[in-house]
Amino acid sequence: MAASLYLAVGIALLSAVSAQLRFSAVQPFPGHGGRTGRQLSPSCGRVQSGGQDDVVGGEPVLDGDWPWMVLLGERLGGRRVWTCGGTLLSARTVLTAAHCVSGRQPAALTARLGEFDTSRDDDGPHVDAAVASITVHPGYRGAARHDDIALLRLSRPVALGARVQSACLPPAGANHTGRTARVAGWGLTEFNGQSAAVLQEAALTVTDINRCEQTYRTQLNFFTRRYPGGFGGTKLCAEGDEKASCEGDSGGPLTTPGADGRQQVIGVVSTGFGCGVAGFPGIYTKVSQYIPWIMQNAA
């Protein structure tokens, strides 16, 4: 009796503490509340590698240029397989695609941070973080890939610094049509091609969403079945040269600098038709449409 009372009080205290923590996590940071929007981490979006920012088209990135890049691993049949990308949003939160993590057990997942060259161990330290919980957007429905967005809560906070850092969020509702953006990944999941050892990036342009939707609608007979109401304002299309559209890993970031120069993650690599097929831009989950959901569910 007494033991269960202690337990109940303990749980009540714990939930009060976690509610407090959650509350403090969603407060805007002073000075970043305006054009940059609300952030989960005050140090977000800064690159400290001193690397150049004007690399174009399917180039290896400079080590340290994508400190928010997450490599997502999954235990499959006793083996760890790298399956998807993700973006670090805070010391405990990873943003990824719902189709990468839906139906998985958190214990089966690993989030690797600070990775650069997957074939070497002497390219700088990386951190393998355990995943404590997975939050898939409630609107996500398998094949249709609507609301293809999910958050992972890491089991303990990772240290943020030059090598591992969070990306900023775009302001809620921001429209990035016409902007230059960059996508990065090891090319893990796309079309069973050989994945690259070193992180690759490509420069893309965010294209007009209506034109993109029209392209898919008229060229793909399953489009209407998959997206009965079209993209519904929650997708973003981006394309570059032929080589570029294949570089991103599912779940990985599409970023662009905000007015303050910090990198914001504006898209989550979701789907698209093939790899570098001319005229078919890649389809991304439009992060600016999910800011309240991210703020409510991030750790």
Catalytic residues: 99, 148, 250
Q: Judged by CB, which is closer to ligand NAG: 113, or 206? A: 206
> Judged by CB under 6 A, which of 178, 192, 194, 229 binds ligand NAG?
178
Closest CA to 229 of 149, 137, 136, 147: 147
Closest CA to 255 of 82, 119, 94, 53: 53
Q: How far is the CB of 208 from ligand NAG (least distance, A)?
A: 6
**Phi, psi angles (nearest 5°) of residue 271:** -160, -170
Specify which residues 133 forms β-bridges with. 153
- Quote the CA–CA distance of 281 and 31 in Å, as a whole number: 36
Choose the binding region for ligand NAG from 46-54, 170-178, 190-198, 268-276 (rule: CB under 6 A): 170-178
Q: Judged by CB, which is closer to ligand NAG: 175, or 205? A: 175
Q: How far is the CB of 212 from ligand NAG (least distance, A)?
A: 12
Return the amino acid letter for 210: N
Closest CA to 250 of 117, 70, 44, 126: 70
In the range 231-260, which residues lie near ligand NAG by CB under 6 A? Answer: none
Choose the binding region for ligand NAG from 22-30, 85-93, 171-179, 264-272 (rule: CB under 6 A): 171-179
- First and final C-alpha spacing in the chain: 34
175 is a contact residue toward ligand NAG (CB under 6 A): yes
> Judged by CB under 6 A, which of 27, 48, 177, 214 binds ligand NAG?
177
Note whether 161 and 283 are within 8 A (CB).
no
DSSP strand pairing (109-113 vs 127-136): antiparallel
Choose the binding region for ligand NAG from 53-61, 130-138, 174-182, 284-292 (rule: CB under 6 A): 174-182
Residues lying near ligand NAG in the complex (CB under 6 A): 175, 177-178
